[in-house]
Amino acid sequence: MSDLSKLTIAAARDKLRAKEITAVELTDACLTEVEGAAALNAFVHHTPEVAREQAGNADRRIAMGMSPDLCGIPLGIKDLFCTKGVASQAASGILDGFKPEYESTVTSQLFKDGAVMLGKLNMDEFAMGSSNETSVYGDAVNPWKVDDRALTPGGSSGGSASAVAAGLCLGATGTDTGGSIRQPAAFTGITGIKPTYGRVSRWGVVAFASSLDQAGPMTKDVRDAAIMLTCMSGHDAKDSTSADIPVPDFEAALTGDIKGKKIGIPREYRMEGMPAEIETLWSQGQEMLRDAGAAIVDISLPHTKYALPAYYVIAPAEASSNLARYDGVRFGHRAKLAAGDGITEMYEKTRAEGFGAEVQRRVMVGTYVLSAGFYDAYYNRARKVRTLIKQDFETVFADGIDSILTPATPSAAFGLGEMVDADPIQMYLNDVFTVTVNLAGLPGISVPAGYDSKGLPLGLQLIGRPWEEGDLLNTAYALERSVQFDGKPTRWW
């Protein structure tokens, strides 16, 4: 039974339809794995009763021959997604006890297709972090290990990455504001795709930076990512940024044929101090795509060096605005007040107690750059830089480039606690290869492509044209087939 949880979504779907297994059996196998993996701290709210009820309903649909691709598939849901009647805290103390009366659009679509929710997954508080160390639930832990040292699974979707890599669930939802799907995917040896901004509804997803946030799937391979993304995508009238364009069958796009495709290699991503093993992996990825029939073309994205500072002005500014709603008045945590305290004291104490240090830091930075006298110097200038970065991509795509290959991260997973007391900028540098994709609103995918000298997984990133997730997934599929990465963490938890 425990082997069932190791199945891919595609393999489990086929076994379910062939009546070789039942959704209840598959769900029970995953629940057993979840219960035995407390050391990973990936799942923070368990919903076994909900899961078994959904699995039973899925079995009945399958018996009737009416089963969408995700029918009966056990998933983990990042704590950023609102789930009706189930705690949805964004890993923050300020949302303690919050159980929404509504369902996010993404989870509604997953459940409509018969997916099974095993529970809610750990994350960085309000998705602010690159190591899953800012969570009110404590650190999520990477199932990969070296020298008995606990490693980060990355962030902010660290619980999602850890759960998928450890085989606790067949897939998971994640969100990506500056790399929060792709970086943890790379750190844990799984696949994660951030779709084009507007491809997946943000309604019911707790907001961090509204012009950057985008939900996407985290899975064991590219085919599973295509299956989940097809279900998650689509126009939503409740989200004004949701695009009203058709959703293709992304799985059907996976032919593996990339002959004649032009793959761009941006010279600006060869950064000073890049580890040799990252450079080697990148070169190997280029050779694999060339061998598959693609043309490798050197390109320039000249404003890349400004992406990280622009991102860390825009994202905190939007967070400052979005997080103003958490004040202890209507829901979540409310501080105990002393005699004589008024509403201002309630706001101050509630926010001081409810928000963690990293969230407070970003709210203060965001408030500062939006304040009178600094708005033009920081926020407006960052927006202009963002436009230039977007234009860089538009230029190379107009020149015939189909997708762009880069490293996913500047290193393999680092140890938990290693950067807690470091300069915050050192942590922010984990996003150096990923933030441009969010600033430009493009799709990007991380695919496991090799190992570092200690045997930890490393990922490569492919960046695609807007709305061309099918083509991007197919290129990633060709890379995946060439790499043949089959690494699994050795069980220690």
| 336 noted as active-site residue | no
Q: Under a CB-based contact definition with an 8 Å cutoff, are residues 189 and 165 in contact?
A: yes
Give kind and range of the element (H or E) at residue 373: none
As to burial, measured by CB atoms within 10 angstroms (0-12 exposed, 13-18 middle, 19+ buried), residue 17 is middle
| 156 noted as active-site residue | yes
Residue 264 has φ and ψ, to the nearest 5°, of: -85, 140
Tell me the CA distances in angstroms from 422 to 155, 162, 438, one per residue in order: 17, 24, 25
Q: Under a CB-based contact definition with an 8 Å cutoff, are residues 412 and 458 in contact?
A: yes
Candidates 156, 160, 201, 446; catalytic one: 156
Return the structure tokens found at 280: 């080697």
Q: Under a CB-based contact definition with an 8 Å cutoff, are residues 191 and 219 in contact?
A: yes
How far the first Cα of the chain sits from its last, in Å, is 18
Candidates 78, 120, 194, 262; catalytic one: 78
Residue 114, C-beta contacts closer than 8 angstroms, at least 6 positions apart? 23, 54, 57, 58, 61, 67, 68, 70, 71, 72, 73
Give the number of residues written for the chain.
493
- 154-167 as b/e: b if 16+ CB within 10 A: bbbbbbbbbbbbbb
Amino acid at 460: L
Candidates 88, 130, 162, 180; catalytic one: 180
| 180 noted as active-site residue | yes
Q: Tell me which residues are annotated as active site.
A: 78, 156, 180
